[in-house]
Structure formats: structure tokens, C-alpha cells
Amino acid sequence: MDRVSIAKAACDLVVKGLGLNLSDPNLSNTPDRLQRMYADELCSSLEKESPVLTKFPNGEKYDEIVLLDNIPFTSLCSHHFLPFSGRAWFAYVPYLSLVGASKVARLIHYYSKKPQLQEALGIEIVDHFIKELHPKGVMLVMRAVHGCMSCRGVMTGFDAGMTTSVLRGCFKEDARTRAEAMALIQLSITDRGYR
């Protein structure tokens, strides 16, 4: 990633594009702040290796749903370069391995840090998990509020959002397993006080 070019482009946007003056104390460091925001935060996975998922043997042969819930994420829409933020619910049915509880959140955090569509984000997360753990099934539900809807265009504010799901294995093939996972997600939402 070329941080100098990012800062120069940000400076051009502020000064040449928008006609603002960098001598304003509120704008004087804006190009550098924008460079750090894109390089270190919103697009940080462009420079990092994907996380390794710590696996543990499924010695007890656990074959029920494991739900990791209410995982916050923020990503960057590739259409307008505005953030979209929300929560994810990740369910899997193990086969030979269990995953460390924090690793799914790390996986979601990693894949969210680049410009993309929410639909593609979910697919990348699930595909990575399946490649490493080979579970019986995976289900990922993500809900986010998109800046390109909330503060521009249709200007929906922060109540309207987008919900996407990615289903693989037993969650896609078995309606009862899918319904059980959705009931667990609903319980997780209710328990957190989102009523």
C-alpha cells in the first residue's frame, strides 16, 4: 500500500476537489488522518495475512450447533467508499475440529477490512472457515447499516439496513437445522436486549 499516494490523493480531494483550505486548524492534518484511516483501519487486510484459526480436536464428537453471536464489524462499500457497520451471527456444526471462540470474530474482522460488497464479505468468511475446519455446515447472517443508504442517496438514516446470509452443508440442506440456528439467533438478539 502506498501511504504517500493516499495522503496526496486525500490532500487533492480536500484542497483541489472541495476547495477547502488546509490552514483551517480543523483541516490541517486531515490528509494524514485520512491516510491512516484507510491504510491502518478500513483497508488494513490488504497488507496483512489472513488469521490462522486455532483448532481443537472434537474428542467428544460434538455434532450440534455452535453459535458465535453479536460480532460487530465495519467494512467499506466498494461502490462509494463509505462504511457499512453491523453485527454478525456465525453458526457451525463441527466435524473433526472445534475452533477457538475468538477466532471467528478475528476472521470476520480480517475480511471486513477492505472495499467490497456485503454479499461477497459473507462468502469469503464462510469459504475460509470451511477450507480450514471442514465442518458439517456453516451459517453466517450479517446485518449492517450502509453509509451509501443512510447518509446519501435515499438517506434512510440508521434504521434501514441490509441482512445477508450464507449457508453451507447441513444449514443449506436441512430446513430443521436452519430453523434451529435462526431460533438461536433470535434468542441471542432478545437476550441482548434488542427487543
Over residues 63-107, the pLDDT tens digits come to 999 999 999 999 999 999 999 999 999 999 999 999 999 999 999
Mean pLDDT of 56-65: 97
Instruction: With a cut of 90, say whether residue 12 has pLDDT above it.
Output: yes
Look at the pTM and tell me if it is higher than 0.85.
Answer: yes
Q: What's the grid cell of residue 73?
A: 464489524
Residue ranges and CATH numbers for the domains of the chain are 3-42 (no CATH), 55-191 (3.30.1130.10)
Over residues 120-160, the pLDDT tens digits come to 999 999 999 999 999 999 999 999 999 988 888 888 878 88
Question: Burial letters for 105-132: b for 16+ Cβ neighbours within 10 Å, e otherwise?
Answer: bbbbbbbbbbebebeebbbbbbebbeeb
pLDDT at 119: 97
Instruction: Specify whether the CB–CB gap between 45 and 62 falls below 8 A.
Output: no
Map residue 86 onto helix, strand or coil: strand
Residue 31's closest CA among 43, 18, 44, 14? Answer: 14
